[in-house]
Amino acid sequence: MNIHITVKSVGKRKPMLTHVEYKLNTNPRTLKDLISILVISNVQAYQERAKESLFIQFLTANEITDQAAEGKVGFGARYDERHADPERAVEAALLAFEDGLYRVFIEDVEVEKLADEIQLQAGDTVTFLKFTMLAGRLW
């Protein structure tokens, strides 16, 4: 089943991730299942990208322009040798949800609890709304 994922950050006009199609191999029953599936999949993709190494890396003019628009131009090199642990990543994502650091909407309807059952259908849009922590101090 294909769904669409959008990640937005409060205070930013442009979404961080714009309407990316995502293929689910299983149909999650709860929000916790959905978050777990997405996090594990992203950790696996991250680890695969870390394995890829080009002998000679270069950027085309279009890649430089695209990356400059995002705010950072680089080769995508990873200098950290550590590997991501999928179980710890899932725990962190679930804790972040419980702590209110982000909210999840399925077709503009908020899913409020991890145990809430969800009914995903092909083509649905899942939006992750990330909240920004404010810096400063009160006197």
Q: Which residues, 6 or more positions from 84, have their beta carbon under 8 angstroms from its beta carbon?
A: 43, 46, 47
Flag whether pLDDT at 79 surpasses 80. Answer: no
Flag whether pLDDT at 22 surpasses 60. Answer: yes
DSSP state for residue 117 in the 8-state scheme: B
| Digit-coded pLDDT (tens) for 25-69 | 889 999 999 999 999 999 988 888 766 654 556 778 888 888 888
Task: Report CA 50 to chain centroid distance, whole Å.
Answer: 17
| Digit-coded pLDDT (tens) for 89-139 | 999 999 999 999 999 999 989 999 999 999 999 999 999 998 877 666 655
pTM: 0.74
| Helix 31-51 vs helix 86-98: crossing angle, to nearest 10 | 140
Structural domain boundaries in the chain: 2-130
